[in-house]
Amino acid sequence: MPESDHPRSQDHLTASIDPFDPTVAPVGQQWPSDPPPALEQDLSVLAWLQCSHELSAEATGYVCDALLQWALLGEPWPDPTQPPAGPDCDHLEVLVQITERLVRRAVVAQPLSRRFELAGVGRELSNAIRCQRDPQGLADSQWREMVHRMPWLAGPPASVLLPDGRVL
């Protein structure tokens, strides 16, 4: 199969880049030097964003999924806290900033298992951002990813021709 026909390469041409997908993660990107808020503070703001009126229900569902994944790691569910910019700030921008900081944390996290844990949480947050910006694009991307893993979902199975001429 030519590289341009490969489903993953087409997905990269049409979808926004997911920093938690190892095939497209930015390499060597420079991060700001100012110290980020603590992870607990970012998680508290996420707990507040799960009830956001500015984000779609689907996007807040992904935020809830990220927090649930965090809780399933044995970590405490964070208490909701308003963003430092206040409740009238751009909620999507706050979500993007938290996700970018989570990328930085995942890159340097130790041990390796912690990187995977943070990446799993971050992947849900990336989905929330993509869902808010382009819900149909996210759905199409997820469908292509699922069909890539399970090609039999793409369509009905091929017909089987029996020796007597019947078709199953």
Q: For residue range 102-135, list pLDDT tens digits in order.
A: 999 999 999 999 999 999 999 999 999 999 999 9
pLDDT in tens, 37-64: 999 999 999 999 999 999 999 999 999 9
**Least confident interval from 20-34, 61-75, 118-132:** 20-34
Q: Which residues contact 109 (CB under 8 A, 6 or more apart)?
A: 115, 117, 118
In percent, the amount of the chain with pLDDT more than 70 equals 80
Give the residue, 121 or 28, on which the prediction is more confident.
121
pTM summary value: 0.74
| Biggest CA-to-CA distance, the chain | 75
pLDDT tens figures, 81-107:
999 999 999 999 999 999 999 999 999
CA dihedral (67, 83, 142, 140) in degrees, to 10, reads 150
DSSP secondary structure of 19-45? TTSTTT--SS----SSPPPPHHHHHHH
Kindly tell me if the per-residue pLDDT of 72 is higher than 70.
Answer: yes
The single residue listed with the structure tokens 């130790």 is 110
In angstroms, the Cα distances linking 67 to 15, 71, 73, 124, 130 are 24, 6, 10, 9, 17
For the cut 90, the answer to whether the pLDDT of residue 139 exceeds it is: yes
